[in-house]
Structure 1
Amino acid sequence: MVLVPKEPVSIQPVGVVVSDFKKVSRTYDYHRESVIYMREDLTDALIGIEYFSHIHVIYHQHRRQDWLELVEWKKEQPPITLPVAGEPVCRGVYSTRSPSRPSAMGSCVVELIKCEENRLYVRGLDALDGTPVLDIKIYIPHYDAFPLAETPLNCCMRNELSATSRRLHWDTINVGLALGLRTGARALQALGISRGEAARAEVSGGHFFAQGIEGATGCSVLRGNMIFEELNTSPGQWKLKLAGKDSEAEIWLNDHIYSGASEVLEAGEKILFAAVNKN
C-alpha cells in the first residue's frame, strides 16, 4: 500500500493577480484581461517569455470559502462530489473544473498579451483579484494540446458519428433522459393512451428530462405540442403535465440523486415520483 503524505506543503507565492474580477461568481468571462505582478527578485526569470503566446498559471484559491458560501454549502468539509447542472447526478470534483479543489490549487491556460518588467498582462485568467500565484509555465502546443482528447457531452460537443457512443454516457450523464422516459411512460399509463395520442405536454426540468419525455410521449417543442421550462435544479422541482383528449396527468418527481441511468430504470415508483395525479 502506498501512503499518501499528510504533512502540509509550504509554497512561497511568486506573484499576485490584479484584476477587476473581485466578486466570487458561478461564471467567468474568459475574454477578461488581468495582470500578474511577479516578485521583483524574479524579474530576470521572465526573460524570453514574451516570445510565447500562452502560459500556464498555477494559483492558490484563497477565497474558496467565499465560493462555498455562494453555492450555499453548509457542511464543514468542502464537497468532493458536485451535482451536474440540470442533471440529477453527481460528479467527483476531479472530473469538474469547480473551484472547490481539495488542495485549494487552481490552474488556467491564459493568453500572454505582453510582458513589462515584472508584470505579465494576460487574458482569460479565472483567478480573483489578489490571488496568490504559485507558478507559471510556458504553454507549448506540441506537448500541451491534444486535439483528439475526449470530453463528456456536458463539457464539449463533437459531431463525428464514431464518437456518438462516447458522447452518450448512458450510465452517468443521461440520468435525466432515463427519468424523462420513465415519467412520460407513467403519464401515458395514467391516461390510458399510447405514444402520439397525447394532445399537449408541459415539462419543467432539465433538457435531457424533456428529451426523454419527448421520446416516450411523442410531444415535442418542434411540433408545437410541448411547453418546456428549463430548470437547473434538483428533481424535486421537476414535473410533467400531460393532456389527453378528456383528462390530464400530472407527475412530480422526488428530490433524489441517482448513481446512473440504470438505477433510474430499475427504481420503483415510490423512489421516482412524489405524486402521480389524474384530473
Structure 2
Amino acid sequence: MNTNLEIIGYVYSEIKDRENAPKQGCEGGVEAIVEIKEEFSESMDGLSVGSEILLFTWLHEADRSCQKVHPRGDESRPKRGVFSTRSPDRPNPIGLHPVTITEVDGCKIKVRPMEAIDGTPLVDIKIDQR
C-alpha cells in the first residue's frame, strides 16, 4: 500500500502567516492563485471559470502532535479532540477549502475565497458537487 502524498502544486496568497489567516474562507478569505506543477497539467482539463471546487492542502505549519484544542482558539471554551474541530493542528493536517474558480491561465488557477497561507502545498482538487 502506497500512502505517500504527491504535492501537485502550491497556493500563493496575500496571507503570509497563520495569525492573519481567517478560520474559514467565508470569514474573510482572499483571492489566491493555485499553481499546478506542469506534470499534472492534463489533470486540469474540465476546470473552468465559475466551477466550484474543493482544494485539499497540506497544512505545513500545523502541530502534528496536537490532539486537543480550544474550538476556534477560544480559550474560554473547553478543549475538544481535533477530530471534532476544523483546527489545522492534527495528526494528518489536510486542509479542505471550498472555492470558486475566477480565472484559469495555463497551470495557474485563480480562486476565492481562500484562507490558506502563502506557500501552502496542494495535494488534490475535486469538483464540488454538494
TM-score in same-fold range (> 0.5): yes
Q: Deviations over 1:229-254 (max 9, x none)?
A: xxxxxxxxxxxxxxxxxxxxxxxxxx
Q: Of residues 36, 50, 53 in structure 2, which corresponds to 1:55?
A: 53
What stretches of structure 1 move > 3 A for 4+ residues in a row? none
What amino acid is aligned across from residue 11 of structure 1 in structure 2? L
Q: Which has the higher helix share?
A: 1
Q: Does 1:98 align with 2:87?
A: yes
- Consecutive unaligned residues of structure 1, counting only runs of 5 or more, are 1-6, 66-76, 145-279
What amino acid is aligned across from residue 89 of structure 2 in structure 1? S
SS of 1:25 mapped into structure 2: helix
Q: Does 1:12 align with 2:6?
A: yes
Cα separation, 2, equivalents of 1:19 and 1:27: 10
Partner of 1:36: 34
Q: 1:32 to 1:88 in 2, by over 3 A?
A: closer
Partner of 2:124: 135
Q: 1:98 to 1:26 in 2, by over 3 A?
A: farther
Post-superposition shift, 1:93?
Answer: 0.8
Partner of 1:121: 110
Cα separation, 2, equivalents of 1:42 and 1:89: 43
The 5-angstrom pairing of residues 189-268 of structure 1 reads none
Overall identity of the aligned pairs, in %: 27
Q: Deviations over 1:24-73 (max 9, x none)?
A: 216515341110000112222212210653110011111114xxxxxxxx
What amino acid is aligned across from residue 130 of structure 1 in structure 2? G
Contact in 1 for aligned 2:50/2:102 (Cα 8 Å): no
Q: 1:60 to 1:31 in 2, by over 3 A?
A: closer
Cα separation, 1, equivalents of 2:21 and 2:11: 18
Partner of 2:100: 111
What amino acid is aligned across from residue 89 of structure 1 in structure 2? P
Q: 1:88 to 1:57 in 2, by over 3 A?
A: closer
Cα separation, 1, equivalents of 2:77 and 2:123: 36
Cα separation, 2, equivalents of 1:136 and 1:53: 12
Contact in 2 for aligned 1:36/1:120 (Cα 8 Å): yes
- Consecutive unaligned residues of structure 2, counting only runs of 5 or more, are none
Contact in 2 for aligned 1:30/1:123 (Cα 8 Å): no
Structure with more relative contact order (C-alpha pairs < 8 Å, separation 6 or more):
2
Cα separation, 2, equivalents of 1:26 and 1:94: 23
- Normalised to the residue count of structure 1, the TM-score between the two structures is 0.41
Q: 1:117 to 1:86 in 2, by over 3 A?
A: same
The 5-angstrom pairing of residues 166-205 of structure 1 reads none
Contact in 1 for aligned 2:21/2:116 (Cα 8 Å): no
- Normalised to the residue count of structure 2, the TM-score between the two structures is 0.82
Post-superposition shift, 1:86?
Answer: 5.8
Instruction: Count residues in correspondence.
Output: 124
Cα separation, 1, equivalents of 2:78 and 2:41: 47
Cα separation, 2, equivalents of 1:123 and 1:51: 11
